[in-house]
């Protein structure tokens, strides 16, 4: 497994990921690797397996790590996630570890319902709102080879991120 996060123009970021079917220690090890990569990345509040070259349907989300205060579920390990419902649409600024130095305005549902499997393979559901809902949708897009730049409303909304510090 690659130790670093894949970035554009790596073609693997555009591939569809396969469903996870084995729920064992090897899966938990891959989830741990994903979480470590997310925590090392600058400002990372979510990561999807394809960003590490693993074409499997799993994402990690933890909005407690972000700069924006957000009421959320804490650390989420979502396997085979499916967004069952999204209500409304609002524009919000997004960036991505796989598209470094760029941000853009992307429309997303501010409220979603998600069905997913946990690490034991049991199906779960959760409702999410606000920033956490945005992050989940962003990461689930990765599983289908979609990047935030594909959803930017206008090329005029895509800008270089200003370095901080």
User: What are 122's two structure tokens?
Assistant: 């049991």
End-to-end CA distance of the chain: 32
| Number of Cβ atoms within 10 Å of the Cβ of 15 | 14
DSSP letter string over 23-67?
A: -SHHHHHHHHHHHHHHHHSTT-SEEEGGGGT--BSEEEE-GGGSS
Residue 139 among the catalytic residues? yes
Q: Which of 56, 94, 132, 139 is catalytic?
A: 139
Sheet with strand 46-48: strands edge to edge: 46-48, 58-61, 76-87, 111-117, 123-129
Residues with a catalytic annotation lie at: 139
């Amino acid at each position: 497994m690659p130790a670093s996060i894949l970035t554009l123009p790596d073609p693997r970021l555009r591939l569809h990921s396969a469903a996870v079917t084995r729920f064992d220690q090897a899966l938990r090890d891959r989830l741990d690797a994903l979480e470590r990569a997310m925590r090392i990345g600058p400002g990372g509040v979510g990561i999807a397996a394809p960003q590490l070259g693993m074409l499997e349907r799993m994402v990690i989300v933890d909005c407690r790590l972000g700069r924006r205060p957000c009421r959320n579920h804490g650390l989420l390990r979502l396997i085979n996630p499916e967004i069952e419902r999204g209500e409304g649409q609002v524009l919000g600024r997004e960036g991505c570890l796989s598209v470094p130095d760029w941000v853009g305005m992307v429309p997303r549902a501010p409220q979603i319902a998600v069905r997913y499997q946990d690490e034991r393979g049991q199906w779960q559901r959760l409702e999410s709102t606000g920033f956490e809902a945005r992050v989940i949708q962003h990461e689930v897009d990765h599983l289908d080879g979609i990047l935030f730049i594909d959803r930017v409303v206008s090329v005029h909304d895509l800008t270089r991120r200003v370095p901080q510090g």
